[in-house]
Structure 1
Amino acid sequence: MGDWERIFGMDRSVESVIDEIDYENRQEEREKRKLRQRPAIADFDDVVLAAPQKQGIQTFSSFQEALAWAKANPGRAITRIPGRDGFMVVK
């Protein structure tokens, strides 16, 4: 039994060890990318869209309510609240 068999086992080939190392490196890179992207998304969701009502943005729980408001206020627009239920007035 040589060093290779003692370290990696008798049934492991060089290719399988390299593939496993490559897979782990790719997983690590994906995790790093996710961590770099999260703050911008979290900041946007938590700060900008945490509670549109608290920011003085008028909201509606149903499309019917929002549509009635839009018809009564020509020139103004409504949109869905991103990532949440309901609609809000676009400033």
Structure 2
Amino acid sequence: MQVKEIKEYLRIEHDEDDSYLEMLVVRAKMYIRNGVGKLDDDNELFKMAITVLVGHWYDNRELSRIGNNSYSIPHSFEAIIQQLRYCYVGVDAE
């Protein structure tokens, strides 16, 4: 997944955060793989999950905000993860 795709989704026009976004992509892939297991990097749902998670982390850099304990991950992300868990049922995990 390219930072360019993430920037298009998030409507970021500057290049100042590119290295930060690259770091978030790497961490999002790790986070998703830890929750799902083996995944195909070309799976469009996997790419969407990365995009949603990176967008969430990018927009919510603080640990918490006043009047709210934390920023919860959007329900759409959880739904995508649920789908990915069953994408490769019967396929050996690495």
- Please say whether Structure 1 and Structure 2 have the same fold, judged by a TM-score greater than 0.5: no
Q: Hey, which of these two has a bigger chunk of strand by percent?
A: 1
Higher relative contact order (CA 8 A, sep 6+): 2
Name the TM-score, length of structure 1 as normaliser: 0.26
